[in-house]
Structure 1
Amino acid sequence: MARRRSTRALSAVNFFLADVRDGLGPFLGIFLVGQGWAPDTIGYVMTVGGLAGMLATTPLGALADATRHKRALIAACAVAVMVATLALLAVPSFWLTASSQVATGIAAAAIGPAIASLTLGLVGQAGYARQLGRNEAFNHGGNLAAAALAGGFGYVFGVTAVFVIMAVMAVGSLAALAFIRPQDVDYQSARGLESGADAAGPAPISVLLTCLPLQVVAATLLLFHFGNAAMLPLLGQAIAAKGGADPSAYTAATVVIAQLTMIPMALLASRLAGTRGYWLVLLLALLALPVRGLIAGLWQSPYALVPVQILDGVGAGLLGVATPGLAAQILRGTGHANIGLGVVLTCQGLGAALSPALAGFLAARFGYGVAFLALAGVALAALALWVIASGSIRAAIGATPGQGQRSAQPEVASEA
C-alpha cells in the first residue's frame, strides 16, 4: 500500500512536470514573434537550448543511474526551469533568451532519465510498460491542462499568462515529489539490474556506442525528432505571421488537440508493448509523422491543425512509452539502463535541436509550406531505417534477461 502511494505520487509528478520540462514549448515562438523576432532567429535560439540538452543528456543519464537522490535531482531541475523562464519574461534579449534556453535544455535532459530511473525503481521491469503508459498519460494530461489554461488566460491577459502557469506547475511538481517515499525505491532495479543483484561498475561509453540495437534506436529517433520537433512551433509562427487568429489561443488549441490524442495513445502503447512488443509501438509512431508533415505542407489553412495535431498525438503518445522501454529492454541486466537511455536521448536531442534551425531557415527563405514538406521527408528516412533494421531490434528486445544483457556487449552487436 505504501509503494502504491508512491506510484500514485509519481503519476502526479508527471502531470505537473509536463509543462515544466518543456519550458515554454511552442509559446516561446509566439512570445518572441510578439517581440519582433524573425523566424530564423527564433530557430537559432531554440537550437542553442536543444544542443545544450543534447550534450548534457548522456552524463545526466549516468547521474540518474548513480545517484540515490533522484527526487532532489528532479526538484532542482524544476526550480531551474522556473527561474530561467521567468528571467526570460523580464528581459527578452537575445543573450538572456539563449541562456534561458540552455538552462531549460539541460534541466529537461536530466528529468527524462531521472523519471525513468525512479519508475524502474518503484515498479521494476515487470511493471515498467504499464507504469510508462500511466506516466505518459498523466504527462499529457498535464500538458492538456496547462495548454487549456494558457489558451484561456493568454486570450484574456496575453502570452505573459503562460509564464505564470508554468511557475505554478513547477511548484505542484515539488509538492508531488514530497509524497514519493525513498524507501519504496529499489535502487538496483532503478538502474536496470535485477532486484538484489550486485551493483554494476562504471559503464564504458564504448560498450554503449557499439551496441548495434541501441545505435539503431538512437539513429531512428534522431531522424524522427529532426522531422518532428519544429512542426508545432512552426504552426504557431505561421498563424502569428499571418495574423489570422489570436496566436496564444491558436497555439493552445494545437497543444490541446495533440494532448487529447496522446493520452489514449500512451495507454494503448503500454498495452501493445506488453502484448506485441516495443518494435511495433515505435513503428506506428513513425508512420504518423510523414503524413503529418504532408498535410501541414500542402494544406495551408488554420483548419489543418486538427489532422496535423491528431497525428502528432498519435506519434508522441506511442513514442513516450517506446523510447525508455526499448532502452530498458536492450540493456536489461547491465545496470546501465539510464545511461543507455541518455545515449538515445542525446541523439534524439540532436535531431530536435537541428530541426528548428532547418525549419526556420526554409520558412524564412522559401515559405512555411516548403519547410513542412522538408520535415516530412526526414520523417520518411526514420521510418525506412526502422523497417530495414527490424531483425536486429526484434532479436534484442525479444531476448531473456540474460540474453538482453549480452546484447549490450560490443562483440555481439558487431555480429548483428
Structure 2
Amino acid sequence: MTTDSPELKRSLWALDGVNFFLADVQAGLGPFLGVYLINKETWNPANIGLILTLGGAVGLLLNAPAGALIDASRHKRALLAGAAALTSFGTFIVTLKPTFAVVTAAQLITGVAGVVLGPVIAAIALGMVGPKRYAAQTGRMQAFNHAGNVMGSAVAGLAGYLISLKMGFWLASLFGIFVVLATLMIKGHLINDDLARGLKPKEDDGDDEKPSGFRMLLRNRPLLLLAAVVGLWQLGNGAMLTITGQKLAVGNSGEGALYQAALIIVAQVVMIPMALLVSKRGDQWGRKPLMIAAFAVLPIRGLLFVVASNPGEVIAIQALDGIGAGLQGALFAIMVADLTRGSGRFNVAFGAATMVQGIGATLSPALAGAIDQAAGYTTAMLALTGIAVVALVLLIVTVPETRSSVDEPPKSKSAEAEPSPVG
C-alpha cells in the first residue's frame, strides 16, 4: 500500500482549511441576511425571499459553463482564490447601505462566485486523491466545512447580539483572506487534471483517453434523475431555516441574530458526524440508503416546526437538518462522480446537476416568502413539507444505487489495496 507523501498530506490539510474558512465567509450572506433585513424599513418576508432568490438565480445558467471551464483549466487554485475573494467582497458591501440595489449587487457577486467554489473544490480533491478515495475525502472536507459553519455562525450571532450584525458580516468577510492563504498552500503539481475531470491519468495506459461528448449528460438517465430529485428536495428544504429564523427575529434583530446562530450551529454540529459517516461508510453501506435517510428527515422536521411553540423547541428540531443536509451535502458530489467516472466530464456534469439543484434552492425562499406573506408561517411550512414528501418517494422509486463494485471495500485482508494516485 502506497502512503501519501508529506507534501500531499500538507496540501490535503490546506484543502481542509479552505473548506473550514470558506464556510466562515459564506455564513454572512446565508440566513443571517434575512435576519439583518427583516427589521429594516421597506423589507418584508416577500421581498427578502425575492432578493435571496436573485443570488441563486444568477448562477443557474452559469453552473454548466463554469464546470466546463474547470474541466479545461490547469489553474484551479487561481479560480478558487478568485471566487473566494469575490464572496468576501460581497459579504462586506451588503453592510454599506442595505438598499435594494446594494443587496442585489452583493447577491449577484456572491452568486457568480458560488458557481465556481463548489465544483472547483470538488475537482481539486478528485485530482489529488483519485476516484476510489474521493468518497472518503469528500466526507472529510464536508466535516471541516460544517465545523467552519459552526464557528462562523457563532461569531456572526454573538457579534449581532452583543455589538451589531454588521460586525458579524465584517468578520465573515475577513475570513476570505484565510481562504486565499490556504489555497496558496496547496501544491498545484499534485492536482492531476485528468483525474480532476473524471478521466484516467495519462500514465495509466499508453492511449490518451478523450472526454465524452456533452450529449452524454442528456443520455445519463440516472444522473438526470438524481439531479431532479435533489432539486425537489432543495425546493422543500431551502426556505425552512430562513422563514423560521425570520419568525423568531420579528421585532428584535439582536435576539433574532442569536436565535439564527443557534439554529445554524445545532444543525452544523450534527452535520460533522454525518459527513464523517459518509467518509467512513459511504463505500461499505452504499450511497442510496444514506441518501434516503437524508430525504426522510426533512418532512419530519417540517411537521415538527409547525407544532413547535417556543424558540427552544425550534432550535432542538433544527438538529434534524444536521442529519438531512449533512448526509445529502456529502453524498451529492460523490454520486455525480460515480455516474460520470471515465467520461472526462465530471465538472460539467457536477455543474449541470448543481444547476438543477440550485433551481430548487433558489425558488424555495421566494415560494415560501410569498406563501408566508399571503397565508402565514404554518401554511408556508406545510407546503415545503409536502414537497419534501414527494422528493422522498421519487428518490426511492427512480434513483439507482450509484456505487460500483470497484468501490466496495476488500472482503479479506489479502485484498490488494489501491495505491495513491499521486505522491
TM-score strictly above 0.5: yes
Partner of 1:382: 391
Amino acid at match of 2:351: G
Deviates more, 1:210-219 or 1:235-244: 235-244
Looking at structure 2, the residues matched to 344 and 91 of structure 1 have their Cα atoms a distance apart, in angstroms, of 35
- For residues 221-370 of structure 1, what are the structure 2 equivalents within 5 Å? 221-241=230-250, 243=252, 246-370=255-379
Deviation at 1:272, TM superposition (A): 2.5
Aligned 8 A contact 2:308 2:314 in 1: no
Looking at structure 1, the residues matched to 26 and 214 of structure 2 have their Cα atoms a distance apart, in angstroms, of 26
Aligned 8 A contact 2:25 2:91 in 1: no
Deviation at 1:278, TM superposition (A): 1.3
Show CA shifts across 1:366-416 (max 9, x none): 1111111111111111101111114xx22x533659xxxxxxxxxxxxxxx
Amino acid at match of 1:327: V
The answer to whether 1:184 aligns with 2:193 is no
SS in 2 for 1:89: coil
Task: State which of 5, 8, 11 in structure 2 corresponds to 1:3.
Answer: 8
Show CA shifts across 1:94-145 (max 9, x none): 1221121121112111101000000001111121111111100000000001
Aligned 8 A contact 1:118 1:190 in 2: yes
Show CA shifts across 1:310-356 (max 9, x none): 11110111112110000000000111111111111000100000000
In structure 2, the CA distance between the partners of 1:243 and 1:322, relative to structure 1 (3 Å rule), is same
Looking at structure 2, the residues matched to 225 and 99 of structure 1 have their Cα atoms a distance apart, in angstroms, of 24
Looking at structure 1, the residues matched to 271 and 100 of structure 2 have their Cα atoms a distance apart, in angstroms, of 33
Show CA shifts across 1:198-246 (max 9, x none): 6665654432022100011101111010001111111111011254970
Give the number of equivalent residue pairs: 398
Runs (4+) of structure 1 exceeding 3 A deviation are 197-205, 242-245
Looking at structure 2, the residues matched to 244 and 19 of structure 1 have their Cα atoms a distance apart, in angstroms, of 21
Amino acid at match of 2:290: V
Partner of 2:152: 146
Deviation at 1:271, TM superposition (A): 2.0
Looking at structure 1, the residues matched to 251 and 95 of structure 2 have their Cα atoms a distance apart, in angstroms, of 24
Looking at structure 2, the residues matched to 348 and 260 of structure 1 have their Cα atoms a distance apart, in angstroms, of 24
Partner of 1:108: 114
Amino acid at match of 2:125: T
Partner of 1:407: none
Partner of 1:414: none
Amino acid at match of 2:106: S
Deviation at 1:58, TM superposition (A): 1.2
* Structure 2 residue runs without a partner (length 5+): 1-5, 408-423
In structure 2, the CA distance between the partners of 1:286 and 1:320, relative to structure 1 (3 Å rule), is same
Aligned 8 A contact 1:297 1:371 in 2: no
- For residues 50-89 of structure 1, what are the structure 2 equivalents within 5 Å? 50-89=56-95
Amino acid at match of 1:152: L
Amino acid at match of 1:149: V
Looking at structure 2, the residues matched to 174 and 244 of structure 1 have their Cα atoms a distance apart, in angstroms, of 32
In structure 2, the CA distance between the partners of 1:253 and 1:259, relative to structure 1 (3 Å rule), is same
Amino acid at match of 1:318: L
In structure 2, the CA distance between the partners of 1:103 and 1:204, relative to structure 1 (3 Å rule), is farther
Looking at structure 1, the residues matched to 172 and 180 of structure 2 have their Cα atoms a distance apart, in angstroms, of 13
Looking at structure 2, the residues matched to 128 and 281 of structure 1 have their Cα atoms a distance apart, in angstroms, of 17
State the percentage of identical aligned residues. Answer: 39
Aligned 8 A contact 1:21 1:108 in 2: no
Looking at structure 2, the residues matched to 31 and 216 of structure 1 have their Cα atoms a distance apart, in angstroms, of 37
SS in 1 for 2:131: coil
Looking at structure 1, the residues matched to 138 and 130 of structure 2 have their Cα atoms a distance apart, in angstroms, of 11
Looking at structure 2, the residues matched to 388 and 143 of structure 1 have their Cα atoms a distance apart, in angstroms, of 33
Aligned 8 A contact 1:292 1:307 in 2: no
In structure 2, the CA distance between the partners of 1:150 and 1:399, relative to structure 1 (3 Å rule), is same
Root-mean-square deviation over aligned CA pairs: 1.7
Looking at structure 2, the residues matched to 245 and 159 of structure 1 have their Cα atoms a distance apart, in angstroms, of 8
Looking at structure 2, the residues matched to 103 and 83 of structure 1 have their Cα atoms a distance apart, in angstroms, of 8
Aligned 8 A contact 2:21 2:178 in 1: yes
Looking at structure 1, the residues matched to 228 and 209 of structure 2 have their Cα atoms a distance apart, in angstroms, of 27
Looking at structure 1, the residues matched to 38 and 358 of structure 2 have their Cα atoms a distance apart, in angstroms, of 24
Looking at structure 1, the residues matched to 335 and 117 of structure 2 have their Cα atoms a distance apart, in angstroms, of 18
Aligned 8 A contact 1:199 1:335 in 2: no
Deviation at 1:298, TM superposition (A): 2.4
Aligned 8 A contact 1:222 1:351 in 2: yes
Q: Give the TM-score of the pair, scaled to structure 1.
A: 0.92
Looking at structure 2, the residues matched to 188 and 249 of structure 1 have their Cα atoms a distance apart, in angstroms, of 46
Partner of 1:34: 39
Q: Give the TM-score of the pair, scaled to structure 2.
A: 0.90
The answer to whether 1:17 aligns with 2:22 is yes
Deviation at 1:48, TM superposition (A): 1.0
Task: State which of 210, 221, 235 in structure 2 corresponds to 1:212.
Answer: 221
Aligned 8 A contact 1:133 1:266 in 2: yes
Looking at structure 2, the residues matched to 25 and 296 of structure 1 have their Cα atoms a distance apart, in angstroms, of 20
